[in-house]
Amino acid sequence: MRPAALNRLTVQEAGDRYVELVRARTLTGGLSPATAEVYARDVATFADLAGGGRVLDDLDGADVDAVLLAFARKPDGRRAVPEGRAAPQGPAQSASSQARFRRSVSAMFKHAVLAGWVQVDPMTAATVSARERGGLRAERRALTREQATGLIGAARRLGEDGGGPAGERAARDGAAARRDQRTEVRDALVVLLLATVGPRVSELVRANVEDFYTNDGVRYWRIFGKGGRTRDVPLPGDVALVLDAYLAGERRGGGPAVAAGEALLLSWRGRRLARGDVQGVIDRVQRRVDPAHRRTVTPHGLRHTTATHLLADAVDMDAVRRVLGHGDLSTLGRYRDELPGELEVAMRSHPLLRDRDRDRG
């Protein structure tokens, strides 16, 4: 039974108390000392990544997601890289270590609910789950309308002002102030294309400048998809404006003319953007979103977002299928995620009752 009063402990205080209880279980034989120390180490790492001075009850699912993904990228001190050898690519922590860390955090929050340290277990709202292969990953789940518009709004602002003067950006984000290293408009373009057109991440990073053309005043993207199939998708006006701004000024710092077959999206070193870099781009833009409307999302989650909201707005299913590049409508059904409150909205505007509502008016 939940205590009547909430004890607003900081993350550090709650972690220390929980570790004391875990270590006490070793005295009764309920837990081995080695296992208890693993819990203690994971809880200490969680406090460090989440911020020990924050109130535990203030953490939500997005905060937990950020900590879990930060842990996955945290270097493993037990596996030293020999001198002269390059560090391994991919997540720094093994898949088993990531899954164990998530279990430790989940166990702590279960106790926190019973002890009255939190009102609601934030793990129930976390989207990052453990996989047998590949470790921790955010679920490929569509953003709600508020979350999606918050992300798109942040990207549009970034595309319009480039994030502010170069000096301000360098101080705020740690970004380089050199013109050939500015990536703000590129980041905005990446997020806008993913969230409004819904390409596969492989389609996005393979895109070349020549794949974008204008017909009767409308900007199109010729997307080269699976199985050698191509599709021409018109870009929303706001996205086309950011694309043109990127091509005119920010790509390569406004450098030389583009050659045929040259990549659209470049790293600040001038190389084609890699698939693994796209998640980092999304995360950077997410940091500009109001925390109340921010949630971790993968590139494929933004593809789900495109499909879900186009279908929820009664866009023709075949048109959505063609935008996403699916071969048939049955595949599209897997991309239609449930949105909170959508059933209530549907029943309030029931088509069989609209005539009666008009008569009352």
Active site residues: 200, 226, 300, 303, 326, 335
The dihedral of CA 82, 86, 87, 88: what is its sign?
Answer: negative
Any idea how long the chain is?
A: 361
List the structure tokens of 62. Answer: 């997005």
Half-sphere exposure of 147 (CA within 13 A, CB side): 17
Q: What is the DSSP letter of 316?
A: -
List the structure tokens of 30. Answer: 């309920």
Across 108-137, b (16+ Cβ under 10 Å) vs e yields bbebbbebbbbeebbbeebbbebeeeebbb
What is the C-alpha separation between 239 and 27, in angstroms, rounded? 62
Across 25-37, b (16+ Cβ under 10 Å) vs e yields eeeeeebeeeebe
What is the C-alpha separation between 212 and 264, in angstroms, rounded? 9
Give CA separation, 89 vs 66, 146, 201, 280, in Å: 20, 35, 19, 15
